[in-house]
Structure 1
Amino acid sequence: MSSVSEGRFRSSAVPLITPGPLRTALRTDDGIRIEAVYEPCTAGAGAAAGTSFDGTAVVVAHGFTGSVDRPAVRRAAGVFARRAAVVTFSFRGHGGSGGRSTVGDREVLDLAAAVEWARALGHRRVVTVGFSMGGSVVLRHGALYAGRVTEGAEARGVAGCERRVGARADAHADAVVAVSAPARWYYRGTAPMRRLHWMVTRPVGRLVGRYGFRTRIDRDDWDPVPLPPVEAAGLIAPAPLLIVHGDQDPYFPLDHPRMLAAAAGDGAELWLERGMGHAENAADESLLTRIGDWVAAP
């Protein structure tokens, strides 16, 4: 699976990376234009002696109705930039990106394009951090781009993009962080999720998404259904996996992170955050700093 920028990005050594933010457009494997922003690590000379951040980049995957320029995404990027370089982007159908949202299905191609861009800029180690819908995407990406989709999953009917994914050295994640991610599809057990399903599945709901949330939603149902996040979580090892979830999450109760952690087994670390709500909007600076420390750890 491949992705290129508007004029193809070129590989470069990390010391040659531009010292300031860089905004560009990437092209996914299925031809969707994705807006993306690169920010270098701000640790600089203030980093602890003997600590090197040069080789690590964090790729941030926002939640549904988010975008690269949303304040919560920019806040997370600013905190992570104290530990590593950061790539943020808008999923298809969101913000200034093209296409329409498939609510976590083909978005794996958007994430792959961003990861490839980080490596093309010279970063040797790339960690994906996803929130809510983005959390489900980083889980599937972590499994699919390591080439670990099982024959049984393919036989049940995995999405077409998943059948074609292999172990591309430039598109895989070296570690994965899923924040406020669902464990299973079609969950309607909370009022916020019932409202989200209404917005995604009804014509008037999609109009609300387009004009109220700047999110353009694809009208087609999944066919076939993508690999569920809980199955993907069990396929990410040996890459490290961190699962973060708030005990006050109004969208997904605690059985979701516990299912993910159980599926991943010893390959996952689970943080249940007291008093935290949902996704990037609820992640305060303290939590983002701890995630950044986990990302930067060798």
Structure 2
Amino acid sequence: MSESRRLSFFERLNRTPKHRLAGWAVLGYGGLVLVGALLGTQILLRARSRWVPGEFVPVVRRGNDVLLPPSRETLSRGVVGIMPLLPNKGHAVLGPPSRAGTLVKRAVQQERGVLPHGSLAWVSTFVYNGTPRQLGVAYEDVAVQTEVGDMPAWHIPALSEEDRPGERDALVIVIHGHGGHKAQGLRALPALRRSGVASLFVTFRNAHGAPRVGRGNLTLGDREAEDLTAALRWAAQAGYKRALLFGFSMGGNIVLSALRPRHGPLPLPVPGVLLDSPALDWLDVARANGRRYHLPAFMAAHMAGVVKWMVTRFGGQNFDSVDQLAAAPTFTRPMLLFHGDRDRTIPVTQSDALAAARPDLVEYHRVEGAKHIRCWNIDPEKYDAAVEGFIGRVLGGVDND
């Protein structure tokens, strides 16, 4: 008697030839790797975010305390910034969080303008989303001329130049990261000011507000290093005698790329560099971000390999030219290095490796509990002290006094 019932999925699967199942599995696996690689390639090659990341929250003000609804930003460790949007604009820096019932309580540490009760505010671990004016610091908008167009920058003269204009010595050039903004580095500005140096906050090609080149693809630090070299030329023309380079995330790779011999002699002496959560090995970054999204290690490795091929094919990128760990033996300048052990964007193991490879050059601060480029937030006083101490040592004093 013939059986008319339908076979279940597992019964049909059991009757399918094994070679056909293997073929489907290979195709499925390849498809998943390809989709992940396409997404990863787009993220690596293009980043022109208009807004500094943050959240909008209602504010309850109780004296010097602010009560906020719980969220990823409001519960973050360490310091955050907050800017009321309604009914007025101002800016405040809030201290570490504690719980107050169902709300998050933070104390106001600094305040410019008013953070009123009942206002709607932007809150972020990036602390600042505007210009140096948010810190009460005067600055000038300048343009750094490059072969692909003018890069917008903020120039903040040294404090001493306010009394003795035209006398310039040392400048710190601050460069943001992948998908970032010049405001990313403003957390370090007070320490730079106290150190007696001037500063130049600059962007690079294909970032937001900067000239678009070709299809707008980034080169992960390689060609962007030419924009940093142009910033050094600007500094030399402005009368500065020497410069330190301060890079955040991909900005750290740009800094180290600019120091490599292939980019030629520098327009100004560079006695040292400062790095915060630097991207040192992009292939490792791709692998780590695959693991971040819970891919098995072998799949993350395969996906990273395809990402490397795609970035090379469509962006013309040579990964070796931005592999700063491989280049570590060639570095000659002192480095101040910060990296958080909770960084899920750039593995802290990269900075571990750089510090281990060059203990003769690297002063390493591995910050417990810090996420990507949030080392300052965990302990601003300790971070600032490290910056001020490093600048004092490598410059041997600043002729701006």
For the superposition of Structure 1 and Structure 2, which TM-score range results when normalised by the shorter chain? 0.5 to 0.7
Q: Deviations over 1:81-126 (max 9, x none)?
A: 2221000011211122102332322111111111222222222221
Q: Tell me the CA shift for residue 167 of structure 1.
A: 2.2
Equivalent AA in structure 1 for residue 328 of structure 2: A
The RMSD of aligned alpha carbons is: 3.2
Query: What pairs up with 1:161-180 in 2 under 5 angstroms?
Result: 162=262, 165-168=263-266, 170-180=267-277
Judge conservation of contact 1:32–1:98 (CA < 8 Å) in 2: yes
- 1:128-157 deviation line (CA, Å, top 9, x unaligned): 011110111112222x2xx3xxxxxxxxxx
**In structure 2, which of residues 157, 169, 185 is the aligned counterpart of residue 73 of structure 1?**
185
Q: Counterpart of 1:91?
A: 204
Distance 1:37 1:262 in 2: 35
Change (3 A) 1:81 1:122: same
CA distance in 1, matches of 2:388, 2:251: 17
1:251 counterpart residue number: 345
Q: Is the partner of 1:92 in helix, strand or coil? A: coil
CA distance in 1: counterparts of 2:191 and 2:288, whole angstroms: 31
Cα distance in 1, alignment partners of residues 162 and 384 from structure 2: 22
TM-score normalized with structure 2 length: 0.51
- What residue in structure 1 maps to residue 236 of structure 2? 119
Q: Say if 1:32 and 1:260 are closer, same or farther in 2 by CA, change over 3 A.
A: farther
* 1-structure distance, mates of 2:245, 2:201: 10
Looking at structure 2, the residues matched to 193 and 172 of structure 1 have their Cα atoms a distance apart, in angstroms, of 40
Give the letter aligned to residue 178 of structure 1: L
User: In structure 1, what is the Cα distance between the partners aligned to 2:154 and 2:337?
Assistant: 25
- Identify the residue that residue 228 of structure 1 maps to in structure 2: 323
Decide whether the 8 Å contact of 1:67 with 1:91 is kept in 2. no
Aligned residues: 232
Identity fraction in percent:
26
Match of 2:280 among 168, 183, 186: 183
> Which residue in the other structure is 1:27 paired with?
145
CA distance in 2, matches of 1:66, 1:104: 14
- What is the CA deviation profile of residues 41-96 of structure 1, one whole-angstrom value per residue up to 9, with x for unaligned ones? 236799xxxxxx9522111111111122x3x3233334322221000011211122
Shift of 1:178: 1.6
Q: 1:291 to 1:193 in 2, by over 3 A?
A: farther
Secondary structure of the residue that 1:181 maps to in structure 2? coil
Q: Secondary structure at the match of 1:190?
A: helix
* CA gap 1:78/1:92 in 2 versus in 1, 3 angstroms: farther
User: Which residue in 1 is equivalent to 2:44?
Assistant: none
**Residue 366 of structure 2 is aligned to residue 272 of structure 1:** yes
- 182-191 vs 109-118, which moves further: 182-191
- Distance in 1 (CA, whole Å) between partners of 2:158 and 2:345 is 33
Q: Does the residue aligned with 1:266 lie in a helix, a strand or coil?
A: coil
1:60 maps to 2:174: yes
TM-score of the pair, normalised by structure 1: 0.67
Q: Matches of 1:261 and 1:282 in 2, distance apart?
A: 17
Q: Kindly indicate whether the alpha-carbon contact (under 8 Å) linking 1:113 and 1:171 is maintained by their aligned counterparts in 2.
A: no
Residues 208-261 of structure 1, C-alpha deviation per residue, up to 9 Å, x if partnerless? xxxxxxxxxx95241474241113332221x21222211221223332112112
- Structure 2: 5+ residue runs without aligned partners? 1-136, 294-302, 308-312, 397-401
Q: Which fold has the larger relative contact order, with Cα–Cα distance below 8 Å and residues 6 or more apart in sequence?
A: 1
